[in-house]
Amino acid sequence: MGTVRILPPELANQIAAGEVVERPASAVKELIENALDAGARHCQVEIAAGGVGLIEVLDDGWGMSEADATLAVERHATSKIASLVELGQVRTFGFRGEALPSIASVSRFALITRSRESDAGIELTIEGGATATTRPAGSPVGTRVTIRDLFFNVPARRKFLRSTGTEAGHVTDVVEAAALARPDVSFTLVRDGRPVREWLSAPGRAERVAQVVGDGDLTRCAGARGPLSVEAFLGRPETARAGAGGLHLFVNDRPVRDRALALAVAQAYGSVLERGRYPRGVVYLDIDPVLVDVNVHPQKSEVRFADPRAVNDALYSILSRELSTAFSLPPARRWNPGKPPPPPAPPPEPKAEAADPWGLGGSAPVASAPVASAPVAPAPVAPAPAVPGPAYEKSGEPLVAVQDSARSPIRPSPEMRWSNLRFIAQVRHTFLVCESDDGLYVLDQHAAAERVMFDRLRKAYRDSSVSSQALLFPVVVDVTGAEAELVATRADEIAAVGFDLRVRGPESISVHGVPKLLQKTSPERLVRDLLSEVMRSGGRGFSDAVDLALATMACHGSIRAGDPLSPSEGTALLRALDGAEFAGHCPHGRPVVTFTSWHELDRRVGRR
């Protein structure tokens, strides 16, 4: 051991740079945050060679005087905070005073700045952490920071950087995150001399999300609970991805990485989102700065809440409530007042009503004789109610445009019900073709039946009224020791799902009863579905884990692709969907229906 000594400033700065400046994107992030804290309304970022050769950030913020610019490149020099009280309620992006000296210690650094009160600017240059040199320079109000040859004096760090394309991609991600955080600021990204991204200032978050994410299928969800308010723009379940790479999280406009928050967002979808998959979208959380600590990570990419459980519960509660109706029923058509509505379809001929296999009796539909591919006479349904009086925008365009569901989410509407669709035919023993006054609907029969079955199972479970069907002969199932222990310790909760399970040995159980709604399905398969989901609940409580188990059991206990359905059974399935929550998707997130308007169909075949 040597003598204790104070590290030289250049060495201390390089050590700090190892934490703050991980790659070119880290430097870009710090410089953009300085620009935003300085009141910039436009920020331009230019990089070359993935940011290793050149990084330049130009802003039109307040700028700095010569004295402030000279101090800004010293360690722990900042204008953001001045006391411990301010550290506990940080409202700016930066506050540590480490970014500029850290970057300057591992690059050829130049800063040109001018404040509004100054007649001329100042240029300050530092090479590899050496002493700064300054000289007067002509400059508009604002700041330009130029970084060349990043890590030129730290070859070991430079060796671990990725390819030029990868590093440029990380820089793009940083600029996109800044654009999402501050819709009121314009951002431009120039790569190797060519402009590649530009986001002009937007009036609000919704418009900026549309600019950056570029996906019209995101649905806005908003709410507040206590000191937390949430505004989210989230995608449909079928667009979810493995991993949270497509989900952007912001806390007080600060982009953060937080596994617990991402998990709460995913769990708000319930069983519709499979484990390990996360929705695409953007989630903004606004909370009193006193209740969140941003000083927990060198790159300020993580935060810590005073009450993380309350934040996660509030986020889950708000989003689950909003999402429960966000992707449900087909929309009603509101006609443009300048054009007469198309003539209504002729009413179906009356026909005797068949028994409803999806009625309250609870039994699953029994497959009937195959249905021919040609259209059959529609089953009797109540005529579709007329759409109430016009509710139009000033432009005369309909408030809700009916589009192909591949590009537009199926949204709920009180004027439209599944039972108002007219069943036409079953195609390939898989799809139900239906029509209405506004277009053609094609339903996936398995997804629809699975949705109905799951909804009934879940409602019965939550009402503690799941009917159980006793088996004539018990079925013995081999399980693991942990699963046998779970059956023993959770016997009452498992019984509430409709199962009568008994432990027979260290690694075996016997099945004496199954949910009545699923009596036609293999008891062993149902039990394995239940135990598999509950054993790996992924942080969910027992009730939420049961939701996932019910979704899997509903999948295995419903009619499947290839099962023939009669017209009466198809019509009964449509009626059953009216009573199912979140009816636009099956419990595992696949869409139940796709839609094509008559206008779009005419266009595709050349009639328009």
- pLDDT 10s digits, 544-600: 667 777 777 788 778 888 889 999 999 999 988 888 876 677 777 778 888 888 888
pLDDT score of 49 more than 50: yes
Upper half-sphere CA count for residue 495 (Cβ side, 13 Å): 7
Q: 44: closest CA among 58, 54, 62?
A: 58
Task: Verify that 548 and 579 share a domain, yes or no.
Answer: no
Q: What is the CATH number of the domain that holds 431?
A: 3.30.1540.20
* CA gap 411, 221 in Å, rounded: 13
| Residue 10 binned pLDDT confidence (cut-offs 50, 70, 90) | confident
Residue where a domain stops, chosen among 264, 296, 323: 323
The residues facing 441 across adjacent strands are 434, 595
Mean pLDDT is lowest, of 101-105, 350-354, 420-424, for 350-354
> Does a structural domain hold residue 571?
yes
SS3 of the chain: helix, strand, coil, percent, to 5:
35, 25, 45
Task: Verify that 40 and 149 share a domain, yes or no.
Answer: yes
Task: Verify that 434 and 487 share a domain, yes or no.
Answer: no
> Does a structural domain hold residue 352?
no
Choose between 539 and 595: higher pLDDT.
Answer: 595
Q: 367: closest CA among 558, 594, 98, 160?
A: 558
User: pLDDT tens digits for 217-273?
Assistant: 788 999 999 999 999 999 888 788 888 889 999 999 999 999 999 999 998 887 777
Residue where a domain stops, chosen among 290, 323, 356: 323
pLDDT score of 284 more than 90: yes
If one counts every other C-beta atom within 10 angstroms of the C-beta of residue 363, the result is: 12
Q: Note whether 425 and 371 are within 8 A (CB).
A: yes
- Give the pairing of strands 186-191 and 42-48: parallel
* CA gap 410, 249 in Å, rounded: 25
Q: Write the CA distances from 264 to 256, 273, 277, 541, 560, integer angstroms.
A: 15, 12, 12, 12, 32
> Does a structural domain hold residue 340?
no
Please identify which residue in the block is written with the tokens 């530009």.
198
Which of 340-354, 411-425, 471-485 is modeled with the greatest confidence? Answer: 471-485
> Does a structural domain hold residue 573?
yes
- Give the pairing of strands 468-478 and 508-515: antiparallel
What percent of the chain is modeled with pLDDT above 70? 82
Q: What is the CATH number of the domain that holds 226?
A: 3.30.230.10
Task: Verify that 17 and 135 share a domain, yes or no.
Answer: yes
> Does a structural domain hold residue 348?
no
* CA gap 479, 493 in Å, rounded: 18
User: pLDDT tens digits for 74-121?
Assistant: 988 888 888 888 888 888 898 888 889 999 999 999 999 999 999 999
* CA gap 589, 585 in Å, rounded: 5
> Does a structural domain hold residue 385?
no
Task: Verify that 500 and 440 share a domain, yes or no.
Answer: no
> Does a structural domain hold residue 522?
yes
User: Into how many domains does the chain fold?
Assistant: 4
pTM of the predicted protein model: 0.68
Task: Verify that 259 and 297 share a domain, yes or no.
Answer: yes
Residue where a domain stops, chosen among 323, 340, 364: 323
Task: Verify that 85 and 173 share a domain, yes or no.
Answer: yes
Task: Verify that 430 and 541 share a domain, yes or no.
Answer: no
Residue 598: in which H helix or E strand, if any?
helix 598-604
Task: Verify that 155 and 301 share a domain, yes or no.
Answer: no
The helix/strand/coil state of 453 is: helix
305: domain range?
205-323
Q: Note whether 243 and 218 are within 8 A (CB).
A: no
| Residue 450 DSSP code | H
Task: Verify that 552 and 577 share a domain, yes or no.
Answer: no
* CA gap 595, 604 in Å, rounded: 14
Choose between 207 and 358: higher pLDDT.
Answer: 207
pLDDT score of 134 more than 90: yes
319 CB-near residues (< 8 Å, 6+ apart): 221, 223, 230, 232, 234, 264, 265, 268, 283
Q: What is the CATH number of the domain that holds 534?
A: 3.30.1370.100
* CA gap 250, 292 in Å, rounded: 12
Q: Note whether 399 and 334 are within 8 A (CB).
A: yes
Q: What is the CATH number of the domain that holds 152?
A: 3.30.565.10
Q: Note whether 127 and 147 are within 8 A (CB).
A: no
Task: Verify that 88 and 123 share a domain, yes or no.
Answer: yes
pLDDT score of 320 more than 80: yes
> Does a structural domain hold residue 355?
no
Task: Verify that 311 and 431 share a domain, yes or no.
Answer: no
**pLDDT (0 to 100) of residue 292:** 94
Region 186-205: mean pLDDT is 96
